[in-house]
Amino acid sequence: MVSSGRGAAGTQQPVARRRGPVLERAILAAALDQLTEVGWKGFTMEGVATAAQTGKASVYRRWPSKEELVLDALRAGLPGPAEPPDHGSLRADLLSFCHSLLDSMRSRTGVALRAVIHECDHRAAERFTEFIEGEVLAPGKRLIREIMKNGIARGEVRPDAESGMVEDVVPALLMYRTKLCGGQVTDRDAVEIVDRVMLPLLRVHSA
């Protein structure tokens, strides 16, 4: 006989109360879900508490403000450090990087981050600047630098092509097209960025 999950009196058995790290993970996951579903403007601490099946006091005790909670939720959702692609050619490495970046942008954390970037006001945006520059953009710039160094070593990339501006091109174009096209950035867009922008920008000019 299959148990109904009810006690002898026909009442629902109480759900075990979550505490400590288990509860914190549930709150952070709920915060990401809220950002992807209702965006920054619709995000509330009360909504997170309800989604995490806990009380508002439990949320506010750990995160006194909306910005602090969102920062920790985004940080918890970021993937670990990636190794630079090394497929033996500049084009293959750039395509691998672009597709990886697109996958990140389409992920739950990526959608949540875009909601913050596109919707929060100037005051709130200042709270996220250091996080975005240091933990979101910097890892991608590191990968682009490694791709260029490998390309220089193979004779595919001009030695004078390395610059901070070049590191910004791919994420800037993808973010621009994401906002302009309502989030509908395709794999074909990544191919065009590589073939029409990055390769002409980086490759050694033929004599």
The residue ranges of every structural domain in the chain are 20-76, 78-202
State which fold the 78-202 domain adopts: Tetracycline Repressor; domain 2 (1.10.357)
Residues 6+ positions from 79 with CB-CB distance below 8 Å = 104, 109
Per-residue pLDDT at 12 exceeds 80: no
User: Are 201 and 166 contacting, i.e. CB atoms less than 8 angstroms apart?
Assistant: yes
Task: Please state, in angstroms and rounded to a whole number, the distance separating the CA atoms of residues 120 and 67.
Answer: 10
Q: For residue range 165-189, list pLDDT tens digits in order.
A: 899 999 889 888 887 766 678 889 9
Per-residue pLDDT at 104 exceeds 50: yes
Query: What confidence tier does 206 reach under pLDDT thresholds 50, 70, 90?
Result: low
| Assessment of whether the complete model's pTM goes beyond 0.85 | no
Task: Please state, in angstroms and rounded to a whole number, the distance separating the CA atoms of residues 200 and 174.
Answer: 18
Main-chain phi, psi angles of 12, to 5 degrees: -65, 135
- Which residue reads 């918890």 in tokens? 76
CATH number of 20-76: 1.10.10.60
Q: How long, in residues, is the chain?
A: 207
End-to-end CA distance of the chain: 82
Q: What is the pLDDT of residue 121?
A: 83
Greater pLDDT, 7 or 118: 118
Confirm whether 20-76 and 78-202 share one CATH topology: no
Q: What is the pLDDT of residue 177?
A: 83
User: Are 98 and 172 contacting, i.e. CB atoms less than 8 angstroms apart?
Assistant: no
